[in-house]
Structure 1
Amino acid sequence: MHTRTTIVTLLTGVSALALPAGASAQTTQVGTATATTAAETIPQTSPADAGAAPPLSSDVTAEIVVTAQRRAESVQRVPVAITAVRGDALQRLNITSPQQLTLIDPSVRYKQSTSAGNSGFLIRGIGTSSFSAGIEQSISTVVDGVVLGDPSTISTLVDIERVEILRGPQGMLFGKNASAGLVSFTTVRPKIGVAELVGHGELGTQGHGVANLIGNLPISETSALRVFGFYKQRDGVVRNLNPALPRDVDGQLNYGGGAKFLWKPTDALSVFLSADYSEVGRFCCSMVWAKNAPGYAPAVTLAQYGITASPTNRYVAIGGRSYGYAKRGGGSAEINYDMGDYALTSLTAYRQSYRESFYDGDNTTVNYVDRNGGSNALRQISEELRLTSPTGGLIDYVAGLFFFDQHAKGFIDQQGRLEWIVPASNGTVIRVVPSQPVGTIFDGNLTNRVHSRSYAAFAQANVHATDKLNFILGGRLTRDVLKLDYSRGSVPGTIPIPGGVTLSLRQETSNTNFSFRVGAQYSVSDQIMTYATVSRGYKGPGFSGLTVSNASQDQRVAPEIPTNYELGIRATMLDRRLTVNATLFKTHVRDFQAQVADLSSASYANRITNAGSLNSKGVEFSIIARPMPDLTLSGGGAYVDAKYGEFNGVQCYFGQPKVAQGGPCTAPPANPTSIDGFFNAAGLRLAAAPRFSYNLVADYQRLIGSDLRASVQFNFTGQSDVNYSANGDPGTIQKAFGLLGGNVGIGAADSRWRVGLFAINLLDKRWAAQKNPSPTTTLNPGGYLQYYSPDAVRTIGLTLDFRL
C-alpha cells in the first residue's frame, strides 16, 4: 500500500520534469578565469590600421574609438555606460567565447542552455530566462551592426576588432529588444592593398585546442578579400562512469569559417559584404548531483558506481545519451555613401540557425525520462537605413528606419519508461504506471512556431548649447506584430505522458511603443566629462507557448518596459597615465517577462507571464593606472542591488514553510495536498545576480634588445555569494570565489610572431555556474543538481601567434 501511494505521488509530479520544467535543468550560467576591467588597458588602433596584427606594446596616448552612438568617437566622450575592448586584448586574455566576457566587464554574465531562447547575457542582474520560442532576450547581441535573433549562434570569437558592452536600455539606436543592454562585436574588415596571413593557436590541458587562420588578399586597387577559418575543442568537465555510454558528456567542438569583401570605388562610396558558416559538434553543459535524498534513484544508482553527491562532484552515471549539434550561417551587405557632409548607410542581412540537444532528464541509469531536450530553428532578415549628419554645428543627429522579420520554431520533447526507485521499493526499480505493459515508452512534446515582424523609426540628436554643454534627445517608434502556431502531442507509437493533452492553437498579438533617451553631457575640462541620462527602453510582446491545457488559453505576454536613470563621469588625467570611470544607475522594469509556475495546473507546469517588476541599482567603476610605459595596472568592479519588486507564482523550495506554519507558501488551487507551494518573491534578490563583482589586471611588457619583446600578465576576478534561484533557496547558493589567470610570452618586437604560456583558473577553484533543485520534488526531495563552467577546472597551455 505504501508503494502504491508513492506511485500516485510520483504521477502528480511527472509534468514537473516534463517539457519546459525538465529543460530548465540544463541552464548554465558561465563565468571565466581571467579578468580585465576596461578597454583602455590595451589602446585602440587608429582607423587607418584597424585590423592589422595587434601590437604587443601599449601606446598610452592612443584612444579607443567606439560606435556606441552610431558614429565613431572616443570611448571617453560617450555618455553611455560602456566597456570597449580591442581584439588583441581578448586574445591575450584567452577569451575565445562570449561566455568569457565577464572577464572584461564585472556587470556582465552569460547563461548557456540547450535552448537557444534561454541562452544569452545578463547585465546588471537583468536578463531573460525562457524556454519559449515566443520570448526574446533582454540583452541584444549585434555583429557588425546586425541584430541576432539567436545570441547563441556566437560560440567562438575570431577576427574581432572590437567588442563594446553597453549597459542599460540601448534599443533606441540598436534595433531590437536591447531593453537591458547590448553586446556589440565588430569584426576586422578587409584591408585594401595589404596581403597578409595571420594565425593563432592554443594547445593545453583538458583537451583544450584553438586554431584560427586569417588571410587578407588585395583584389584590386579599390577592393580586398578577407577569409577566415577556425577550430575549437575542449574536453568536458563531467565524466560519465556508465561504460555503456561515452565518458565525455559535456565536451565542446566548434568549427567554421567565412569571407568578407570590401570595395571602395570612390572616397564617397564603400560596399562591405560578409558571409559565414559554422557548426557545433558538441557543447556544454552537463548536470551533476550535489545532494541526494537517501533511498531514491539518484542516491541508489550513484552508490552502485562509487559516486558521492557533493559540491565538488564531477561524476555521473546516466542511461540516456547526451549530445548536441548546431549549424548556423548568414550574410550581410553594408553600403556607405557620403552625400557631401552627410553619410547614408544601408545594412541588409540574413541569418539562419538550427540547434538541437538531448540529455538524460533524470540523470541516472534508471529510465524515468532518458530523453529530454529539443531543438530550435530560426531564420531572419533585417534591413536598416541610417542617415548621419555632420558634427561641429549647433545640432548633429543620427536617424533611421529599421525592419526585422523572423521565423522561429521551438521543439521540446521528453521520452522515457517512467521507472524509478523510491525508499519504499528498497532499491528495486518500480513502474510508475503499472497499468501499461513492461517497456512502454511514454512521450510528450510541444512545438512553437512564432513569426514576428518589427518596424521602427528612430533618431537621436545632440544639441550643443555651449562648447562644454550638450543636451541629448532621442526617440524610437516601434511596431511589433507576432503570430503563434502551437501544437502539443506525443510521438507516434508511444503513450502520452500522464496528464499530457493533444491540442493545437493559433494566436496573434501586436503593440506600438515609443521609447526615448534624454540627458545632458558636460565637459568639465578636456580630461573630464560627466553626464546624466534618463532612458525608457522596450522589449516587445511575445507568447508563452509552453504547457497549454486547452485551446482557448491566452498565450500572449505583454511588452517589458524598463526605465533607467544614470549618472556617470569619465576622467583621463596625468597625460593619460590615469583613467577613472564611474557610473551610478537605477533601473525599474515594469511587466517583467518571466517563466513561473502555472498555479492553475495540478502538474506544476510552467508558463511565461508578466510576473511583475524588477529593481536594480548600484555603481560601476574602473581605474587604469600607467605608472611607467611598460606597466599597466587596472581594476574595476560593480555593486549591484537587484531585487524583485513583484514576482508572484515562484515555486517554494523544499522545506520552505507553508502559510499554516507561518511561512509564505500556498498550495496550488488545483492540487491543495501538494507538498510544493508557491509565493510572491517580492524583495528577494534577482537570480544569478551577485551583489559584488570585481577584477584586477597587471600587464607588463618590455623590449629585450631591439628584436624581442617580453610580456607578463596576471589577472584576478571574483564575486560575492550568488543565489541561482529566485525563491532564495539556500541549497542553490554559490559561495563567493575568485579566479586567478595569467599569460607570459615572448615575441618579435614588430609582432611578426609570439609564443606564450597561459593559465586559466590557475588555482583550480571548483565553482558551480548554475545550481538547481531536483526538477520534481517527489522524485528526489531535497536533492540538488549543479553545472560546471568549462573554466571550473584549471587549464594550462601554450599559444602561438604569427603574421606573414
Structure 2
Amino acid sequence: MRPTSIGSSSSSRATEGPGWRVNQLLGAALLATLVVSPAAALAEPAAASTTSAQADENGQLPTVTVTAAKRSESLQQVPVAVSVLEGEALEQANRNTLGSLTSQVPSLNFRTGASNKDTSLFLRGVGTISTSPGVEPTVSTVIDGVPLARPGQSTLDLLDVQRIEVLRGPQGTLFGKNASAGVINIVSREPASELERFIDASYYGFGNETRLRAGISGPIAPGLRASLTALAGHEDGNVTNVYDGSRVNGYDKRGVRGRLVWDIDRDSKLSLSADFLKSRDDIPTGVVTRTSLIAYPSGTVSTYPAFAAALGPVQASDDNRRINTNLATQVEDRNRGVALQYDRKLGGGHQLTAITGWRAWNNDQLQDGDRLSAAAVGLPQSHDHGQLDFEQLSQEVRIASPLGQNFGLPIDYVAGLLTFHTKDKEIYRRDVLRVVANGTDYSDWGEAHYGSNSHSTAVFGEGRWHFSPSWRAIAGARWTQDRLDFNHERERSTPDAQFNGAIPGVNPAVSINGDTSAIGRSGRLGLQNDLSESATAYLTYTRGYKGPAFNVFFNMLARDALALKPETSNSVELGLKSEWLDRRVRLNVAAFSTDYKNYQANFYDTVDGTVVTRLINAGEVSSRGLEIDLQAQATRQLSVSAALAYVHARIDQFNCPAGAAASCDVNGKPLPFSPDWKASVQASYRIPLAEGRQLELGTDYAWQSKVQYDIGQFADTIQGAYGIWNASIAVAQPTKGWRVALLAKNLLDKSYAPFLGRGSTFVNRWVPRDDQRYFGVQARYDF
C-alpha cells in the first residue's frame, strides 16, 4: 500500500540534496547584502533619538529595543537573528503560551503532549524530545535572566510579559545557561512610575474558555515601585469522552506575579520578582486517528480490528475529537519562582548585574496508556501515575561595557559567570490489568523511584572591536563544566507463570545509579559591517555545546546507565538588517548552515517484546536554510508584517542502536517537528472614529508545509500542509482606557494535528485549541 500523509492526499516526496539549496540561499543573502550599499538612496536614516510615539506620528516604524546582547540595543544593530513579539499584542490575540508563538515565528516549533513533561521547543528544526531529568533542553527558555532547566517548566502562562525575544542559533557566549539551538528570552514588565490599574476579561467558544486578569502597578514609596498581576482561567475542552460524556482537553489556571523595584540611588537598582501558577489540565493521551500501522520503509499496512472494536463507539479518523477511556487523564502543575536582580552603574558607563534565581516545579499526572474503556483479551489496561518534584538554583554575575569606546580603545564587551544547580525526584507507577480467554483478570504493577542532580559552572563573554567607523569584529568564548548524576530503583509484582515473567510496559526490577562530567568549549567569531546608516550585515561562525545526558525514566535498564556524549554544533550565519523608505519598511534576512555531532534523540528499541524509546547519541544531523522578516508601515493606519522560513533539517548519519525495533534507514530524512517551509503574515488597520474612539481591524494567516513527527519516518505520522486564518475587530478609546474586541479563530475551519504518535495498535493525534472555527470576545479597562 502506498504511504500517505495524515491530513493530505499527497505522498512524501523524495529527499532532495541540500547542497544546491544552501548555495542558492547563501548566494541570495550575499547578493542582498551587496545591493544595500552605503549610498543606498531608498533609506534615509532617522535620528537615533526617535521614540516609538514619534515614529507612529511620522508614519514610521517604532524603534525596537532588545536585550538579546545583555544590554539595551536596537534590534537592527544586534548581529543575531532575533524575532521580537510584544506582550500586549500576544494578549490581544489570545496567545498565552510559548506553544502559541509558533504561528508567528516560522523557525520555532513546539511538541505538545498529555503532560508538560512531554513538551519540547524546536528552533531551526532542532530540539530535544525526552522526559528524562538528565537531559538539558536544546532550546533554552529564560525569564528575566533566570534560565529554566526543564522544557516542561516553560509551559507556564505568559503573564505580565513586556516582550519575548526569540534568538536563533547557538547563544552560549551571551547567555548564562548554554543554548545550542537558540533562546526564548522572556522579559516581564517593570512596575510603572505612575499608578496604573487594569482588568481584562475574555470568553471564547468551542471549549467554553474564560480568562480573567487584573493588575496594579505604580510607586508605593519614594524610590520604590511595585506591580501585582493575577490570572484565573478555565476551559472545558474540545474533546468528548464518550465513556462518561465529559468534556476534556481543557484547563484550570490560577496564577499571580509580583515585582518590586527599589531605585536605591542614581547608580543602583534592586529588583525582586516572584510568581506562582497552579494549573490542572485534562489533555488526553491523544485521540485515535487510525487503528492500523504503516511499516517503514516497506509501506506494509497492519490492521487491528480487535482494538477498533474495543474503541467503539468512537471511530478513528483524521479529525476525530472523541475518546473512550475509563481513566480521566489529568495533570496538576505548580510552577513558582523567585528572582533577585541587582544592577549597579560603574565607572566609564559599565554596568554590573547579579541575578539570583530559585524555581520549583511539581507535576502530578494520571494517564490512560491503553486508550480504552476496559481491558479485553489481548488488550491489557495500562494506567500510569507519576509525581515529579524539581528545584533549581542559579547565580549569574556579569559586567557589560557601554557600546563603542572603552579604556581608550574602540571595543565593547559583555562577560559573566554562572553557577547552576538542579535537583529532581520522581515516582512513577504503572498498573496493568490483563484478561485471558476464560475471562480471568490478572493485575500487575511496577513502581520506580528515580532522580538526578546536575551542577554546571560557566564563564562566558563576547566582545566587539570597532576597527573602523563601519566595521566591527566579533569574538566570544565560553567554558562550561558539567557534572551530572542519577539514581534509579524499580520494583514490580510477580506476574502469573503463564505470562513467562513478562508484564506489558513494565521492565524487570533494577537498581542502578551513575554519574558523569564533561568540559565544553564553545564560542563565536564574526564580522559586522554598517553598509549605511540604515543597514548592517554580519557573518558569524558559532560553536555550540550541549552537556552530557542520562536517559533516566520509568523503564530504564542497566544499559541506560551509560552517559550520552555532549552534543556539539558548528553554525555559520550570514545576516542583513535594513530599513527602507524613511523607516517605513524593515527587512531582516538570515541564511544559516549548522552541523550537529552526537545529536541526542529518542529512537525505538524492544524490551521483553514491548517497543520502547531510548535516548541515544543518534549521530550527525544538519540544519540549513533562510529566514526573512518584514515589517511595513504602509500608512499611519495600515501596518503589515510577514515572516518566511525555509529550514532543511535532515539526518545525515544515523547511529543505529543494537536490536532496534524500527528501521534505521533514515539518512537523508527530515528531523521531526520541522516542516521545510513556514510562513506567516499579519495586518492591522486603524480607523479614527468620533470622540477619540478608533476601530481596529486585524487579520493573520500562518501556513506550513508537511511535517514528519517521528524520527522513525513512518508514513502515518506525517501531517500534510495546512494554513490557519484568524481575524479580529475591536473598538477602543485609548484616552479613556477601554477596548472591546471580537476574535475569529481558524476561519477556514481546518482540522490538523500538532503531533501524531504511534502505539502498538493505533495512531493518535493531539487536538489543538483551534481545531475548528470558533469566536471570542475580549474586554479591557485601564483606570
Place the TM-score, normalised by the shorter chain, in its bin: 0.7 to 0.9
AA aligned opposite 2:433:
R
Q: Which moved more, 1:489-498 or 1:220-229?
A: 489-498
Partner of 2:420: 404
Partner deviation per Cα, 1:751-796 (whole Å, 9 max, x = no partner): 61100101221222100111122x22xxx2xx32111111212221
Determine which of 651, 654, 659 is the counterpart of 1:668: 659
Describe the shift of the 1:770–1:63 C-alpha distance in structure 2 as closer, same or farther (beyond 3 A). same
Partner of 1:657: none
Describe the shift of the 1:550–1:101 C-alpha distance in structure 2 as closer, same or farther (beyond 3 A). closer
Partner of 2:60: 60
The 2-side partners of 1:713 and 1:262 are apart by: 36
Describe the shift of the 1:482–1:372 C-alpha distance in structure 2 as closer, same or farther (beyond 3 A). same
Q: Which moved more, 1:376-385 or 1:210-219?
A: 210-219
Deviation at 1:602, TM superposition (A): 5.0
Are the aligned partners of 2:82 and 2:165 in contact in 1 as well (CA < 8 Å)? yes
The 2-side partners of 1:353 and 1:547 are apart by: 19
Are the aligned partners of 2:283 and 2:329 in contact in 1 as well (CA < 8 Å)? no
Partner of 1:787: 766
CA RMSD of aligned residues (A): 2.6
The 1-side partners of 2:711 and 2:103 are apart by: 25
| Matching of residue 350 in structure 1 with residue 350 in structure 2 | no
| Matching of residue 241 in structure 1 with residue 242 in structure 2 | yes
Q: Secondary structure at 2:340's aligned position in 1?
A: strand
| Matching of residue 800 in structure 1 with residue 779 in structure 2 | yes
Deviation at 1:539, TM superposition (A): 0.8
The 2-side partners of 1:76 and 1:328 are apart by: 35
Q: Secondary structure at 2:307's aligned position in 1?
A: helix
Deviation at 1:93, TM superposition (A): 2.3
Describe the shift of the 1:559–1:127 C-alpha distance in structure 2 as closer, same or farther (beyond 3 A). same
Deviation at 1:47, TM superposition (A): 12
AA aligned opposite 2:465:
V
| Matching of residue 212 in structure 1 with residue 213 in structure 2 | yes
Describe the shift of the 1:442–1:66 C-alpha distance in structure 2 as closer, same or farther (beyond 3 A). same
Q: What runs of 5+ residues in structure 2 fail to find an aligned partner? A: 1-47, 293-302
The 2-side partners of 1:296 and 1:549 are apart by: 32
The 2-side partners of 1:290 and 1:79 are apart by: 45
Deviation at 1:396, TM superposition (A): 0.7
Deviation at 1:236, TM superposition (A): 1.7
AA aligned opposite 1:302:
L
Are the aligned partners of 1:490 and 1:496 in contact in 2 as well (CA < 8 Å)? no
Partner of 1:685: 670
Determine which of 688, 702, 706 is the counterpart of 1:703: 688
Are the aligned partners of 1:547 and 1:607 in contact in 2 as well (CA < 8 Å)? no
| Matching of residue 183 in structure 1 with residue 184 in structure 2 | yes
Deviation at 1:392, TM superposition (A): 2.6
| Matching of residue 414 in structure 1 with residue 415 in structure 2 | no
The 2-side partners of 1:444 and 1:296 are apart by: 29
Are the aligned partners of 2:59 and 2:584 in contact in 1 as well (CA < 8 Å)? no
Partner of 2:476: 474
Describe the shift of the 1:456–1:440 C-alpha distance in structure 2 as closer, same or farther (beyond 3 A). same
AA aligned opposite 2:159:
V
The 1-side partners of 2:49 and 2:513 are apart by: 50
The 2-side partners of 1:732 and 1:204 are apart by: 30
User: Aligned ranges for residues 256-275 of structure 1 at < 5 Å?
Assistant: 256-275=255-274
Deviation at 1:698, TM superposition (A): 1.4
Partner of 1:23: none
Q: Secondary structure at 2:100's aligned position in 1?
A: helix
The 2-side partners of 1:49 and 1:585 are apart by: 32
Describe the shift of the 1:374–1:48 C-alpha distance in structure 2 as closer, same or farther (beyond 3 A). farther
The 1-side partners of 2:637 and 2:556 are apart by: 66
Partner of 1:589: 596
Describe the shift of the 1:484–1:57 C-alpha distance in structure 2 as closer, same or farther (beyond 3 A). farther
Q: Which moved more, 1:116-125 or 1:366-375?
A: 366-375
Describe the shift of the 1:787–1:157 C-alpha distance in structure 2 as closer, same or farther (beyond 3 A). same
The 1-side partners of 2:556 and 2:721 are apart by: 42
Deviation at 1:729, TM superposition (A): 1.3
Deviation at 1:547, TM superposition (A): 6.6
Partner deviation per Cα, 1:443-490 (whole Å, 9 max, x = no partner): 123333110000011111010011111111001110011111111223
Describe the shift of the 1:48–1:490 C-alpha distance in structure 2 as closer, same or farther (beyond 3 A). farther
The 1-side partners of 2:283 and 2:598 are apart by: 32
Deviation at 1:280, TM superposition (A): 0.7
Deviation at 1:646, TM superposition (A): 2.1
Deviation at 1:136, TM superposition (A): 1.9
Q: Secondary structure at 1:91's aligned position in 2?
A: helix
Are the aligned partners of 2:115 and 2:283 in contact in 1 as well (CA < 8 Å)? no
Partner of 2:698: 713
Are the aligned partners of 1:249 and 1:286 in contact in 2 as well (CA < 8 Å)? no
Deviation at 1:48, TM superposition (A): 13
The 2-side partners of 1:737 and 1:582 are apart by: 25
Describe the shift of the 1:788–1:744 C-alpha distance in structure 2 as closer, same or farther (beyond 3 A). same
Query: TM-score, structure 2 length as denominator?
Result: 0.86
Partner of 1:427: none
Q: Which moved more, 1:125-134 or 1:538-547?
A: 538-547
Are the aligned partners of 1:689 and 1:723 in contact in 2 as well (CA < 8 Å)? yes
AA aligned opposite 2:161:
I
Deviation at 1:60, TM superposition (A): 2.7
The 2-side partners of 1:280 and 1:288 are apart by: 22
| Matching of residue 580 in structure 1 with residue 574 in structure 2 | no
| Matching of residue 128 in structure 1 with residue 128 in structure 2 | yes
Partner of 2:308: 299
Deviation at 1:412, TM superposition (A): 3.5
Deviation at 1:336, TM superposition (A): 0.3
Q: Secondary structure at 1:511's aligned position in 2?
A: strand
Are the aligned partners of 1:119 and 1:151 in contact in 2 as well (CA < 8 Å)? yes
Q: Secondary structure at 1:524's aligned position in 2?
A: strand
Describe the shift of the 1:83–1:285 C-alpha distance in structure 2 as closer, same or farther (beyond 3 A). farther
Describe the shift of the 1:383–1:296 C-alpha distance in structure 2 as closer, same or farther (beyond 3 A). same
Partner deviation per Cα, 1:488-531 (whole Å, 9 max, x = no partner): 22379999826732121121100011110111111100111111
Q: Which moved more, 1:80-89 or 1:482-491?
A: 482-491
| Matching of residue 363 in structure 1 with residue 364 in structure 2 | no
Deviation at 1:137, TM superposition (A): 1.1
| Matching of residue 375 in structure 1 with residue 387 in structure 2 | yes
User: Aligned ranges for residues 488-507 of structure 1 at < 5 Å?
Assistant: 488-490=490-492, 497=503, 500-507=507-514
Q: Which moved more, 1:628-637 or 1:700-709?
A: 700-709
Describe the shift of the 1:265–1:546 C-alpha distance in structure 2 as closer, same or farther (beyond 3 A). closer
Describe the shift of the 1:635–1:285 C-alpha distance in structure 2 as closer, same or farther (beyond 3 A). farther
AA aligned opposite 2:79:
P
Describe the shift of the 1:785–1:550 C-alpha distance in structure 2 as closer, same or farther (beyond 3 A). closer
Partner of 1:277: 276
Identity of aligned residues (%): 28
The 2-side partners of 1:315 and 1:370 are apart by: 19
Are the aligned partners of 1:369 and 1:417 in contact in 2 as well (CA < 8 Å)? yes
Deviation at 1:284, TM superposition (A): 2.8
Partner of 2:538: 531
The 2-side partners of 1:386 and 1:239 are apart by: 52
Are the aligned partners of 1:538 and 1:560 in contact in 2 as well (CA < 8 Å)? yes
Deviation at 1:68, TM superposition (A): 0.6
The 2-side partners of 1:240 and 1:385 are apart by: 51
Are the aligned partners of 1:150 and 1:378 in contact in 2 as well (CA < 8 Å)? no
| Matching of residue 566 in structure 1 with residue 566 in structure 2 | no
Partner of 2:486: 484
Describe the shift of the 1:407–1:308 C-alpha distance in structure 2 as closer, same or farther (beyond 3 A). same
The 1-side partners of 2:600 and 2:442 are apart by: 38
Partner of 1:111: 111
Q: Secondary structure at 2:611's aligned position in 1?
A: coil
Describe the shift of the 1:764–1:534 C-alpha distance in structure 2 as closer, same or farther (beyond 3 A). same
Deviation at 1:383, TM superposition (A): 0.3
Q: Which moved more, 1:343-352 or 1:639-648?
A: 639-648
User: Aligned ranges for residues 126-205 of structure 1 at < 5 Å?
Assistant: 126-153=126-153, 154-192=155-193, 194-205=194-205
Q: Secondary structure at 1:758's aligned position in 2?
A: strand
Determine which of 328, 335, 346 is the counterpart of 2:335: 328
Q: Secondary structure at 2:319's aligned position in 1?
A: coil
The 2-side partners of 1:57 and 1:88 are apart by: 20
Are the aligned partners of 1:58 and 1:630 in contact in 2 as well (CA < 8 Å)? no
